[in-house]
Amino acid sequence: KGRRNQKGKNRGCVLTEIHLNVTDLDLGYETKEELIFRYCSGSCDAAETTYDKILKNLTRKKKLVTDKVKQACCRPTAFDDDLSFLDDNLVYHILKKHSAKRCGCV
Amino acid sequence: LEKLLSKGNNCLDAAKACNLNDTCKRFRSAYITPCTSSTSNEICNKRKCHKALRLFFDKVPPKHSYGMLFCSCRDVACTERRRQTIVPVCSYEDREKPNCLNLQESCTNAELCVRVQHGPGAPWGPWGPPWDRQSRTLQVSSPHPSQGAGRPGAAPGIRHFPGDGLGCRLTGGPGLAEPVAGQGRAVGGTVMTPNYIDSNSLSVAPWCDCSNSGNDIDECLKFLNFFQDNTCLSEYKIRCLKCVLGCFLEFLYCLKGQAQEGKGLLNLEDNVGTRSKSEILAIRI
């Protein structure tokens, strides 16, 4: 299972990994190579900053012009190293910023 | 048979294993990037590609790096994948094939791979005269293996093959990365980069031929044939893959740092199975 987020709050937001075929990514590559895909998941309910708290309060009191202001999301704060693979036509490809390395509520 | 087929492609398995290992994945991408990025008027920056390849073979655990380079194959899909490991279109091929002796000269000038003779009577490898000439020119000397070379504290960059009285040294030169004390360079990733010639055999050769050799034709063929007709490299084929690996390692890794020693990296005795020790010495470069 994934690691806990460093700050201690929002313990729901963790890095999780799954072993996949490159074709599972549906990026259009034809290859038999595989990868470890790491992603961030979990809730960011515990408000992290005063900003988040204020937003929550304002939303509750319906004082905001738009309701589209979002709460903090569990997202990658750093990405894994590049991944390279050879496809079935013997062409190399490199994936960048395809997999999470660290997660945080941002 | 079904089990054999489903076991499939060793080279693919090696690539999968590499991408599941963080170090291998990182250094693989680190060489695929420069080796496949075209520059304004070239296919790639060959120098950057070679440098990244050397790093790959230096830093990645042998079970992964060799796994991709020396995987055994039953079909063309596999051998083609194996041939592509070093991205030959960038690291290996060139517009023209230079003469092998010229290539060898540029190798020794740029990134010394010097075979050192320790006194009279020490055996010479198949390259004989050229190496002899180089070693004289370059005045290379190193302690005899029995005097502690190859152990911690020995001269950096020189590794000795116990018993054969030979040492191998590689240093940097103009236009190349600075040599790191204690670390040699794999031949893979130099101007002498050897690769598999085709999909049907285990024959390997550097990118050169022996046309226009003049009086040196014999010397040139001797050098080229060492790669192409090396008994160890071709004769045993799959059955002797471990042997092939051992020999190949010798020229890819003759200069590997001492840190790797003693970990079975060049432990030919382990790799060659039934071959006798004298045979092993005979096939060493």
**Per 3-state DSSP, what percentage of chain A is helix, strand, and coil (rounded to 5)?**
15, 35, 50
Tokens of A12: 């729901």
| Residue pairs spanning A and B at CB distance below 8 A | 48
Residues of B in contact with A94 (CB under 8 A): 29, 32-33, 36
Dump strand ranges (E) for chain B: 114-117, 158-161, 166-169, 194-196, 204-206
The shortest CB-CB distance from A34 to any of B16, B81, B84 is to: B16
A8: closest CA of chain B, how far (Å): 26
Contact A86 B84 (CB under 8 A): yes
ipTM, interface predicted TM-score of the complex: 0.80
Does pTM top 0.90 for this prediction?
no
Q: What is the pLDDT of residues A21-77, one digit of tens each?
A: 999 999 999 999 999 999 999 988 776 788 888 888 888 888 887 767 777 889 999
Look up residue B171 and give its DSSP letter: -
Which amino acid makes up residue A43? S
Number of alpha helices (DSSP H) and beta strands (DSSP E) in chain A: 1, 6
Query: Would you state the pLDDT for residue B183?
Result: 33
Q: For the residues A79-94, what does the mean pLDDT come to?
A: 95
Residues 6+ apart with CB under 8 A from B101: B130, B210, B213, B216, B219, B220, B223
Chain A residues touching chain B at CB-CB below 8 Å = 19, 32-36, 81-86, 90, 92, 94
Tokens of B171: 């240093």
Residues of B in contact with A23 (CB under 8 A): none
Name the residue among B239, B234, B172, B206 with its Cα closest to residue B91. B206
Q: Is residue A1 scored above 60 in pLDDT?
A: no
Query: Would you state the pLDDT for residue A3?
Result: 46
On average, the pLDDT of chain B sits at 57
Compute the distance between CA of residue B120 and CA of residue B123 in angstroms, rounded to an integer: 9
Name the band, by pLDDT with cuts 50, 70 and 90, for residue B209. Answer: confident
